[in-house]
Structure 1
């Protein structure tokens, strides 16, 4: 299994997109693949895909941004339409990179961004692979315990290493021992950046526009979904405690060109827990082998 020490040398660049700074690490040659990370506390692009980048870079140009609100990118996210805001900035990043069309890989929060981008601008997306994406019917039931843990990280008594470790080991993965202590410590340090604490990127909407925001964030209510012809593969951990696995069937039932793979004994972080399986399936799917 790929480990952090297997990461190749990556070119690091910060782009100005509509007045926001978007940090990008990239490596490899071939068709461009943009990998969008999840929204847990302390997340970042490279840390999210640390077990996948080297393998995919054997066949692809792998482009890994820090999502707006995270890592070395500008902080703050438009809470009225977060996925639309993220999608717009990532589309602007593609313009800055001079890329008309790319493959998209998105995990959780990043999966929701990828799906929104494909709905808004399908001509910019070649193939799309989603892992436990947010927005797949999540507004129709009480949030999972994992989602509550994520969204409450900055509330109450504020962030702590214990709260983060509880979220990662109890909810993010199926096998708690698969996540090294060093990864938790790195994410904790990133999560207490004063700019992030001042404006947490992932939080429940509130106020008079909250219901409208939740509605916009549920892709299964979007009529464009049934017309989206972008070849899509959804990978979902059967033991996902953050986004319910039932969301996988909701997407597959509505999207006309969507394959579904439910991964046994796996939580929300498929690309990390089942890296060898993910790397093989992802590489082949993006090459057109279904």
Structure 2
């Protein structure tokens, strides 16, 4: 059972989808046009709701959460809003799971709030020093808000093209059209600068004290395994990596059972 509500965070509205009972887990979505917290994490909330209380916000500029006044988004804004949201919801400690852009935000949040963040799971993550903007991610950020654009974008996210169904395309294109104006301000060209904005410093990564589980697809074309993840193994204090074979950029979609089992096992560890 999930519920949606709008929470005031530092005077700005944040749209949140929640479900389940137990220790809190913050779920942070990625950066593709039309992405929302509920769209990215509905299946995960259903799978884990028996053991955890899951919180999936629309981050600033996405879905039902507008950008704060005089803001264009960026790592600092998303990190600060995530921390303030969990404060507003009354969660003194929580795990954080983040996909792609959300993985970089999750790591930055863990560095900024080491006394609160208990576990970190960056999935298909951005944020590694020196990782370039891939041509595939550049194309995703540039995807036009219509059905052909949605179809092409979804095809870049997954290895198994049978997952790009007509219903998925229709839902994503509708979400892209609804968020088109806000998204246009987030990653305008030249887009490499926005990948740089999402890069974490060596010092920030060293400040992450919580245990980290990196989850990645071996065939991820948006954040390729070597430049996006392997450097993090040398820069994080307590880290392990799980690579899913026959998997692109969306492990939660392509291998949901394996992904949710990994999450459950890791989050259960003290």
Match of 1:200 among 184, 188, 212: 184
- Alignment of 1:240 onto 2:220: yes
Q: Give me the whole-angstrom Cα distance separating, in 2, the residues matched to 1:192 and 1:173.
A: 22
Distance 1:268-1:189 versus aligned 2 partners, 3 A rule? same
Q: Show the counterpart of 2:135.
A: 145
Corresponding residue pairs, total: 268
- Alignment of 1:123 onto 2:115: yes
Q: CA deviation at 1:235?
A: 0.2
- Alignment of 1:176 onto 2:161: yes
Q: Give me the whole-angstrom Cα distance separating, in 2, the residues matched to 1:100 and 1:250.
A: 31
The SS at the match of 2:184 is coil
Q: TM-score, normalised by structure 1?
A: 0.85
Whether the aligned pair in 2 keeps the contact of 1:13 and 1:25 (CA below 8 Å) is yes
1:263-278 map, 5 Å: 263-278=244-259
The SS at the match of 2:103 is helix
Cα RMSD (Å) of the superposition? 2.2
Q: CA deviation at 1:50?
A: 2.8
Distance 1:205-1:82 versus aligned 2 partners, 3 A rule? farther
Q: Give me the whole-angstrom Cα distance separating, in 2, the residues matched to 1:216 and 1:99.
A: 28
Q: Give me the whole-angstrom Cα distance separating, in 2, the residues matched to 1:240 and 1:140.
A: 14
1:84-233 map, 5 Å: 84-137=76-129, 140-141=131-132, 143-153=133-143, 158-169=144-155, 171-193=156-178, 196-200=180-184, 202-204=186-188, 215-219=196-200, 221-233=201-213
